[in-house]
Amino acid sequence: MTRETEHHPSRDADDRSVGRASAREAEVLVRASGLTKAYELPAETVVAVNAVDLELRRGEFVSLMGPSGSGKTTLLDLIGCLDSITSGSLSVFGRDVSTAGENQLVRLRRGRIGFVFQDFLLLPELTALENVQLPPVFARSPIGRSEAMGLLRRVGLEARASHLPRELSGGERQRVAIARALATSSSLLLADEPTGNLDSRNSEAVYDTLSRLNEEDGLTIVVATHDERLGSLTGRTVRLVDGSVVPS
C-alpha cells in the first residue's frame, strides 16, 4: 500500500478532477467566520486578524495581499493550523479547529497541508532530492526515491536532483521547497511570500510552477504576498488592512 492510499484514498483523483473553473461549486476546504487572533502583550493587545469571514474551495488559487502588518502571515498560520485562534470559528477540511487538540491539529496538517516559506528553509548539506525526502521521514511516512523524483519532476527540477541548495538558483530552491511541501501533503499548499527573496526571473519560475500545480494538478493554493504580479495570477485576491478583509 502506498502512502497516498494509506492516508487519502480518493484525494488525488478528487484534486485532479477539479480545475479552477469549477472551484466555485467545489468542496469548501476552509471556512472562517468572525475569525480573530489577538496577541496579548504586556502593554497592549494586538489584534492581528480581526473578524475575518472567508471560504476557500478545493481547486482555488487565492492570494492574501495587504500592507506589512495587515495580518497575512497570521491568517495563513491560522488556516494552516499552526496557531490557535482567539475567537470566531475556523474549520479546515471539515474539522472545527477551535476545538481540535494539538495532536489532532498536527495530524490534520501533516497529511494535508504543506507550507512554503520566503526563505526556503532547505537543509544546506542535503541534495534537492534528500530535502524532498526528509519531511515525510519526520511525519513517519517516508517516501521512496522515485516518489521524491516524481515531485521534483512536477516542479520541473528532475535534472537538479543531486544538486545541493547552494548549487541551485533562488527560484530553483523555492521550487524544491514547493516539492518538499508536496511530499507531506498534496491537498492544500500555503505559501508565505514565496517570491519575497527572488528577482523577477526567479519569480517567473515560481509563478509557472504554482500556476501549473493549480491548473493541471488541481492543487488548492493560498499565497500571502506583496507581489502584485503573483496576485494577478491567482484566481482571487483577498485584501487585508489592519487584520480585516477589505470588501472587494
Ligand X SMILES: Nc1ncnc2c1ncn2[C@@H]1O[C@H](COP(=O)(O)OP(=O)(O)OP(=O)(O)O)[C@@H](O)[C@H]1O
Residue from 39, 125, 153, 241 binding ligand X (CB under 6 A): 39
Q: What is the rounded CA–CA span in Å between residue 110 and residue 135? A: 10
Q: Select from ligand X, Mg ion, none the partner in contact with residue 150, using the beta carbon and a kind-dependent cut-off of 5 to 8 Å.
A: none
Select from 1-9, 67-75, 77-85, 182-190 the region that touches Mg ion (CB under 5 A). 67-75
Beta strands of 10-154 (E only): which ranges? 28-40, 45-57, 61-65, 87-92, 95-96, 113-116
Which C-beta is closer to ligand X: that of 196 or that of 235?
Answer: 196
Q: How many residues does the chain have?
A: 248
Which of residues 1, 42, 45, 68 is near ligand X by CB under 6 A? 68
- Please report, to the nearest 10 degrees, the dihedral formed by the alpha carbons of residues 180, 208, 219, 198 taken in order: 50
Q: Which is nearer to ligand X, 68 or 146 (CB)?
A: 68
All cell numbers assigned to 174: 523555492
By CB under 6 A, the count of residues binding ligand X is 13
The distance of Cα 230 from the centroid of its chain, to the nearest Å, equals 14
Give the nearest distance from C-beta 177 to ligand X in angstroms.
Answer: 17
Q: Does 71 bind ligand X (CB under 6 A)?
A: yes
Q: Does 73 bind Mg ion (CB under 5 A)?
A: yes
Q: What angle do CA 61, 63, 66 make, to 5 degrees?
A: 175
Residues lying near Mg ion in the complex (CB under 5 A) are found at 72-73
